[in-house]
Amino acid sequence: MSLRQLLLRLPRYLGVSGSPRRWWWSPSLDTISSVGSWRGQSSRSPGHWNQVVSEAEKIVGYPTSFMSLRCLLSDELSNIAMQVRKLVGTQHPLLTTARGLVHDSRHNLQLRGLVVLLISKAAGPSSTNASCQNYDTVSGIYSCQRSLAEITELIHTALLVHRGIVNLNELQSSDGPLKDMQFGNKIAILSGDFLLANACNGLALLQNTKVVELIASALMDLVQGVYHENSTSAKENHITKDIGISTWKKQAFLSHGALLAKSCQAAMELAKHDADVQDVAFQYGKHMAMSHKINSDLQPFIKEKTSDSVAFNLNSAPVVLHQEFLGRDLWIKQIGEAREKGRLDYAKLRETIKAGKGVTSAIDLCRYHGNKALEALESFPPSEARSALENIVFAVTRFS
């Protein structure tokens, strides 16, 4: 399937006409804490993560928070923004996504593009292929690699928007009028498609067939991962599903790791690096993304202040590991004990899970992937960019 065909079919794959779980997007999927590494970093201040990102942005030459500004300020998207304003006062999740695009206080939205730029600078130009030695660079990064970083962010942003589509079949009266949700879904599809179209155009301008194939395959992986997430959803009405940690890891890579891993590999291809260097970049992107995902899954269980009313994903890494240690029968029993008046008491279930081995095992798994990411970086020469990539790993693997 061509990239153009994939982009045209993506909204349908993401559940516009199917039966996805109720909300496709959850803030916890892209929330990263200021928790740092287990390797002696002592800072636990809220500004630690912001400091890591700020220093990394200086290394790559400009704030990546403005990476997709040209697209966001286009006339077409401005018209869409005017329509989004009509959703103010409703509970459609597209509003939350839109606010995140404008005010990304934790610098999470542009993380993927930043990593692509850092690994491009850490690797430098190819020492064996002189065909791009004369290309213009800024802060040691080729312009085509910067374009790839922007494309990666556009794709990620588009998919966040598409994940904000509401399953109209599961609406409740408390969610507001049906017409508001229908209108919000139409705007989410339109704006997500617009961003994907811009990404497609940017890929074509790179004039590199292998890069196009890599990013297209990343999109296919993501579509497959989202599909399996839906089919094994462990929301309240699908609690009997049992995926296991091995299946969870496969799904997590497809849904959250493939885009970053293959974008890092594509950045090496643009600099004419050989297959070994490309694989190193892929491994860093893969394991960094997995650590990031597990860190996000752990937030409801490690935050000092967590609202009792906040529901967490029952397919998150700590919960899946908790089920494996506990056994399926006892897990179903705990689910039953946590029900009150037909609804699941997440506060009670959270404490039950925290008392088991799932949380500590998830922390260990996060650190395992962090160590694998650091091992991949050992192939690159010491530099500021490599140190910044290491610091990003430290920032998602510190839990003490």
In a domain, 249, yes or no: yes
In a domain, 42, yes or no: no
Calculate the CA 19 to chain-centre distance: 22
Dihedral (C-alpha) 166, 168, 171, 177: value to the nearest 10 degrees? Answer: 90
In a domain, 86, yes or no: yes
Q: Which of 214-218, 225-229, 296-300, 338-342 has the lowest mean pLDDT?
A: 225-229
Task: Give the contacts of 302 (CB within 8 A, at least 6 positions apart).
Answer: 33, 35, 359, 399
- Region 131-152: mean pLDDT is 80
Q: Does residue 308 have a pLDDT over 50?
A: yes
Helix (H, G, I), strand (E, B) or coil at 176: coil
- Region 292-306: mean pLDDT is 86
User: What is the rounded CA–CA span in Å between residue 161 and residue 194?
Assistant: 11
Q: Could you report the per-residue pLDDT of 263-279, keeping only the tens digit for each? A: 999 999 999 999 999 99
The residue with tokens 């005010």 is: 103
CATH classification at residue 75 = 1.10.600.10
| Cβ–Cβ under 8 Å, residues 115 and 257 | no
The pLDDT value given to residue 179: 74
The residue with tokens 């597209």 is: 94
Find the largest Cα–Cα distance for the chain.
69
**What count of Cα atoms within 13 Å lies in the side-chain half-sphere of residue 156?**
28
User: What is the rounded CA–CA span in Å between residue 192 and residue 10?
Assistant: 10
Helix (H, G, I), strand (E, B) or coil at 340: strand
- How far lies 22's CA from each of 26, 29, 33, 114, 171, in Å? 11, 15, 26, 31, 8
Helix (H, G, I), strand (E, B) or coil at 91: coil
In a domain, 38, yes or no: no
Q: What letters, b where the CB count within 10 A reaches 16 and e where it falls short, cover 141-165?
A: bbebbbebbbbbbbbbbbbbbbbbb
What pTM does this model have? Answer: 0.80
Q: What share of the chain is helix, strand, coil (3-state, %, to 5)?
A: 70, 0, 30
Per-chain mean pLDDT for the chain: 76
| Cβ–Cβ under 8 Å, residues 366 and 397 | yes
In a domain, 321, yes or no: yes
> What size, in residues, is the chain?
400
Domain count, the chain: 1
In a domain, 30, yes or no: no
Amino acid at 90: T
Domain encompassing residue 85: 55-128+135-397
- Region 320-324: mean pLDDT is 93
In a domain, 158, yes or no: yes
Q: Could you report the per-residue pLDDT of 154-196, keeping only the tens digit for each? A: 888 888 777 777 777 766 666 666 777 787 788 788 778 888 8
- How far lies 262's CA from each of 240, 279, 281, 326, in Å? 34, 9, 8, 36
Amino acid at 170: E
Count of Cβ atoms closer than 10 Å to residue 335 Cβ: 18
Q: Which of 100-109, 117-126, 209-218, 320-329 has the lowest mean pLDDT?
A: 100-109
Q: Does residue 123 have a pLDDT over 70?
A: yes
User: What is the rounded CA–CA span in Å between residue 356 and residue 10?
Assistant: 39
Backbone angles phi, psi at 126, to 5 degrees: -70, 135
Amino acid at 120: S
User: What is the rounded CA–CA span in Å between residue 262 and residue 203?
Assistant: 14
| Cβ–Cβ under 8 Å, residues 157 and 164 | no
In a domain, 39, yes or no: no
- Cite the beta strand spans of 62-180 per DSSP E: 137-138, 141-142
| Cβ–Cβ under 8 Å, residues 50 and 57 | no
